[in-house]
Structure 1
């Protein structure tokens, strides 16, 4: 029996760049911000510093509401999925697409 493919990711951290609200040509709202996470994790029984900086995108009806509530310095927890995008220079990077967002 083949297991279903999973792409679930949860990350907490601090917003370090101002959230930007844009709209697609189809009228869909997209909120983008950069999340920074720092922690200590245990790997192979030893402590390891973890540092992540990732762009978060929230699309849909809740994006404009969150755009009014989020600011640089806010701590949030994001749950969603990872997707690869290419920037204008053709360089690939991972983006976290938020399905749930909670201020902490």
Structure 2
């Protein structure tokens, strides 16, 4: 069995919604994460920006609240996504999203 699960919190930088040609609702977020972690007994500042994709009707009630500046915690799985220009990047496909205050 293989494991693919990621949980991350952060602030939304950008948000956009669209429907796929198959009629599936998608919300795409750009999530900024900042934290302080200990590695090799040293404090390290961690920073990353990752694209988060919310797909399907189960997120529809939440998507109106997912705007730039909102803090969230998201969990899901990561996958490689290839853009139209051929560049690949890791994206987080959300399975659960919680608003943080």
Q: Same fold (TM over 0.5)?
A: yes
TM-score (normalised: structure 2):
0.94
Q: Displaced runs of 4+ in structure 1, greater than 6 A?
A: none
Distance (Å, rounded) in 1 between the aligned partners of 2:31 and 2:11? 6
Distance (Å, rounded) in 2 between the aligned partners of 1:62 and 1:42? 36
Residues 36-72 of structure 1 show CA distances to partners (whole Å, capped at 9, x for unaligned) of 0011111111111100100000000033322211111
In structure 1, stretches of 5+ residues that fail to align are none
Residues 68-102 of structure 1 show CA distances to partners (whole Å, capped at 9, x for unaligned) of 11111100000000000011210100000000000
Corresponding residue pairs, total: 100
In structure 2, stretches of 5+ residues that fail to align are none
Distance (Å, rounded) in 2 between the aligned partners of 1:13 and 1:37? 4
CA shift at 1:24, angstroms?
A: 1.1
Q: Is 1:20–1:67's contact at 8 Å kept on the other side of the alignment?
A: no
Which residue number in structure 2 is paired with residue 92 of structure 1? 88
Please list, as runs of the form range in 1=range in 2, the aligned pairs for 1:1-104 lying within 5 A after superposition: 4-17=1-14, 19-104=15-100
